[in-house]
Amino acid sequence: MNNGFYTALGTPLDSNGQLIEKSFVTQINQQIQAGASGLLCMGSMGNMIGVREKDYVSIAKASIKANKKRVPLMIGVMDNSIGRVMDRVNAIDHLNFDGIVATTPFYYMVNQTQIISFYKAIANQSIKPLYLYDLPGVTQSPMTVDTVLTLMKHDNIKGIKSGNMNLISSIMRNPYKQADFDLLYSGLDTFDIALQGGIKKNLDGMFCCTPLNTQKMYQGENISFHLQNILDLRNIFIKHGVLVSFSYAMELLGMPGRYHEDYSINISNEAKEEIKEFMNRINEVTL
C-alpha cells in the first residue's frame, strides 16, 4: 500500500435498508479524485454492524464495481466469533478486492491469547489477506505490541488499523517488523503529528465529507490547518450524534442516504444549519 490517506467509506441506505448505489459510486469516485490511496468498505463509519445480512454481499460488490481496481479496497468482516466472521468472509472471498478487516470480538472482553487464536483461525481460512482492526473503545480489548508482532508472522496477516500511536510507532520502530506489514494509523486528532513522525498511512471516515480539506492536507498545504477544519466538523458531529450528522453532511455534498443507525432520530434544523454553515466556512459546500 502507498503512503497517503485511506477513506473509511460511509454506506448510504434508503428507508428500506437498500444501498443507494448512485450516492455510493459518487462517494468512491470523489475520494479517488481527491487522492485517496485506498478505501475501506463497511468499516465503523460504514456502519457494517448495522448492515443487514441479505444486503452485505451486494454492498461489497457495489464497492468493487465502483472502485474498478483503481486503489486498494478492503472490506469489513467484523463479528463476534470465528464462525460468524467466516460466514462473511466466505460470502465475499471470491470477489476481486484486496483484503478483509476484522476487529477483535466486541461482545466479550478477550485476552491476548484469545486474540491471537481468533485472528490466526480467520487468516488460515481466508483467501484474502487479513488486516487487524484495533478498536478498544468498542471492543474493550486492546491489542499489545507483542500480540501484533506475533500475528504479523502469519503469511496471511498483512497489516493493522489502530488509533493507538504508541502501538503503531512501537511496531514501526521494532527491528522484527515484517517489511510487507502495513501500519494504518486512525487517530484523527494527531494525523499531523503522525505524518511528521513518519507514520504516512492514515485511515478515517471523516475524509468522506471533507474531500477538499483532506486533499489539501495530504498535498502538504498547511497540514495542521486543514486537519483542524476536519476535527472541528467532527466535534460538531459528536455534539449532535456522529453518524446521523454525517448523513446530513453527505446529503449536502450530493450523496444522500441513511449512513446512520436505523434507530437514530434525525438531527434538528438548528444542528443542520450549524453543519451547513461550518462546511461552507471550510469550503466543502457553498451556501
Using CA atoms, how far apart are residues 276 and 287, in angstroms rounded to an integer?
8
DSSP string, 87-133: HHHHHHTTSS-SEEEEEPPSSS---HHHHHHHHHHHHHH-SS-EEEE
| Count of alpha carbons within 13 angstroms of residue 136, beta-carbon side | 13
SS3 227: helix
Residue 49 confidence class, pLDDT cut points 50, 70, 90: confident
Kindly state the average pLDDT of the residues 193-204.
95
Res. 149: pLDDT tops 90:
yes
pLDDT above 70 as % of the chain: 100
Res. 287: pLDDT tops 90:
no
Set out the domains of the chain in order of their start, with CATH numbers: 4-221 (3.20.20.70)
Q: What is the overall mean pLDDT for the chain? A: 96
